[in-house]
Amino acid sequence: MEEKVLTVGSMFAGIGGICLAFKQNGCKLIWANEIDKYACQTYRLNFGDSYLVEGDIQDIKGKDIPKMDILTAGFPCQAFSSVGLKEGFADPRGNLFFETARVINEKKPRAVLLENVANLVKHDEGKTFQVIKDTLESLKYHVTYKVMNAKEYGDIPQQRNRIYIVAFKYKKDYLRFCFPSPVELTKTAFDLYDKKKQNPKYYMDGHRMWNRMMEYMDDRKRVYRFTDWGLSRGMEGICPTLLAAMGSRFERIPFFYDRYSVRLMTPRECARLQGFPEDFILPTENEKQVYKQIGNSVCVPVVSRIAKQITKVLKA
């Protein structure tokens, strides 16, 4: 008997990091929605244009969304991020979670995967997360969640803590599911950087903070970046969290010593540190948008391991 192919719909799809993870696990992508036109361009380069709906989810009626086995949503995290203003549901982006709940209620998928910043658990003394959990349970879903770091669960040398919420329509599926176990980190960020000399635009020689950088950057095995509080360094061999802000301020892009000087990570190197394969196409124009898209995306290997567990349960 032919094995059932599980179908996936994706809200707030971005450039398709979560979609890619489920595709890697044999699922069929049948619907995706994204409002950002630049992210949609990158998505189409990699997945085509047959099912992507570009536009505001608030304008999309349930009858126009196909039924799917699995719904995924990396709903906007800026409202809950410790880096942002932490306004939660007071921020219109925070309220987009309720659009996710609407689609779950209307399409009733067998499984749901939600991804957000780890700070969601602590936001507003835990009240925000409780609302999310209560909402899913009010829709008769069985909910489990885990905070997972890319360097601990994806064999990716990036400090990236994210919460993954998995909800199942049927209790039997919920009882069979377990999150993946930690895996040993086998590489450093420097293993993922290109060794040859890069375009001069990535080198930071002559930066207004150059002298301060030279005083601070005393360890060539670490990756550095500027924050609101000044210059900071990552753990040895580990890249700091890649942020969407890389697209608005180049100083938010991590930088390091290569064999030539101090330079920024390139978009391709950032993509590697999110676990995107080499054949994933990045637009060559509008580089700021590409940085933003990668910072907004997910660590693909972590999501792929969760997707493997979800699909195993649904096929059992």
List CB contacts of 256: < 8 A, sequence separation 6 or more.
189, 190, 193, 220, 222, 223, 224, 262, 263, 265
Q: Which residue has the tokens 């660590």?
A: 299
Describe the strand order of the beta sheet including 224-227 as a list of residue ranges: 230-233, 224-227, 255-257, 262-264
CB 83 within 8 A of CB 160: no
The Cβ of residue 230 has, within 10 Å, a number of other Cβ atoms equal to: 9
How, if at all, do strands 230-233 and 224-227 pair?
A: antiparallel
Q: How far apart are CA 112 and CA 89, in angstroms?
A: 21
Residues 6+ apart with CB under 8 A from 56: 35
* Summary count for the chain: helices (H), strands (E): 10, 11
**DSSP 8-state code for residue 206:** T
27 is catalytic: no
**SS3 (DSSP) at 243:** coil
Catalytic residue among 19, 27, 77, 270: 77
Residues, the chain: 316
Q: How does 114-143 read in b/e, with b if 16+ C-beta sit within 10 Å? A: bbbbbbbbebbeeebbeebbebbeebebbb
**Alpha-carbon gap, residue 172 to 160, rounded angstroms:** 31
CA pseudo-torsion sign 198, 201, 202, 205: positive
Catalytic residue positions? 77
